[in-house]
Amino acid sequence: MKTIGLLGGMSWESTERYYRFIQEETKRRLGPMHSAPVVLMSVEFQKVHAMQHAGDWDAAGAYLADHARRAQAAGADLLILCTNTMHKVAPAIEAAIDIPFLHIADATASAIRAQGLDTVGLLGTHFTMEQDFYRERLALHGVTALVPDAEDRELVNRVIYQELVDGTLRPDSRDAFLRIMQTLASRGAQGMIEGCTEIGMLVTPEHTDIPLFETGWLHCEAAVDAASGKPRSWEPVD
């Protein structure tokens, strides 16, 4: 099995879930004694956060590209970036390495299309919801992403940065997310992209009948696909 490179730490809570998801999926496909070889490069999130909010995407891209090179040098055969928002600088990362880079929006769109859907809601940071880099990547696969109105985008962004990245899960925030999801469904969303890798900690399929696409899990499935050479099953894992 190839070695999976994880470029994480944004936040470490979601990166921890990435590692667990990859190992669970590897065991499910290959057997109980199997585990995936992994190289983890975990960055200082405060630095990335400051670059995001200063709009210094060139510096953010250079910072993550440097860590991507380190992951490759440490033995990674392929690389995944354990966050949605920072795929804004995916081109800088791809240019810095000679190993495959698996884009989170490609993995998500593949799952959406596999279920026969083409219009979904998108929740994430305000960067992910409001800028073009993520929605345009989905559109390449024939997926249209609907986003909340300005007030609800601000709420989602606040919960992500003030609660979820710190591992705080509040029932009132879950209720707010569920309301926003229902609003998007009423506008034609057939499913919902949890477009921040921490959202899956807050809202799970037990909370709603709307099909959820947890980007972190789907990204991990794509990584195990590439590393193991074993085709994925789209059935949920118990």
The domain total for the chain is 2
Residue 211 in domain: yes
Average pLDDT over residues 43-48: 96
For residues 41 and 69, state if they share a domain: yes
Active site residue 196: yes
Q: Is residue 209 part of a domain?
A: yes
pLDDT at 174: 98
Active-site option among 15, 26, 83, 85: 83
Judged against a pLDDT cut of 70, whether residue 27 lies above it is answered with yes
Torsion angles phi and psi, residue 163, rounded to 5: -130, -60
| Residue 151 and residue 111 share a domain | yes
Mean pLDDT along residues 91-100: 98
Average pLDDT of the segment spanning 43-62: 96
The catalytically annotated residue of 108, 125, 128, 196 is 196
Q: Is 83 a catalytic residue?
A: yes
> Predicted confidence band at 230 (pLDDT cuts at 50, 70, 90)?
confident
Other beta carbons within 10 angstroms of residue 231's beta carbon come to 8
Per-residue pLDDT reduced to its tens digit, 55-86: 999 999 999 999 999 999 999 999 999 999 99
Give the tens place of pLDDT for each residue, 131-188.
999 999 999 999 999 999 999 999 999 999 999 999 999 999 999 999 999 999 999 9
Domain of 206, CATH number, reads 3.40.50.1860
Alpha helix stretches (DSSP H) within 97-214:
104-114, 126-130, 132-139, 150-162, 171-186, 199-202
Residue 233: inside a domain, yes or no? no
Domain interval for residue 57: 4-103+217-228
In a domain? residue 66: yes
Same-domain check for residues 209 and 110: yes
77 and 133 fall within a common domain? no
Q: Is residue 164 part of a domain?
A: yes
Do 208 and 191 share a structural domain?
yes
Q: If you average pLDDT over every residue of the chain, what do you get?
A: 95
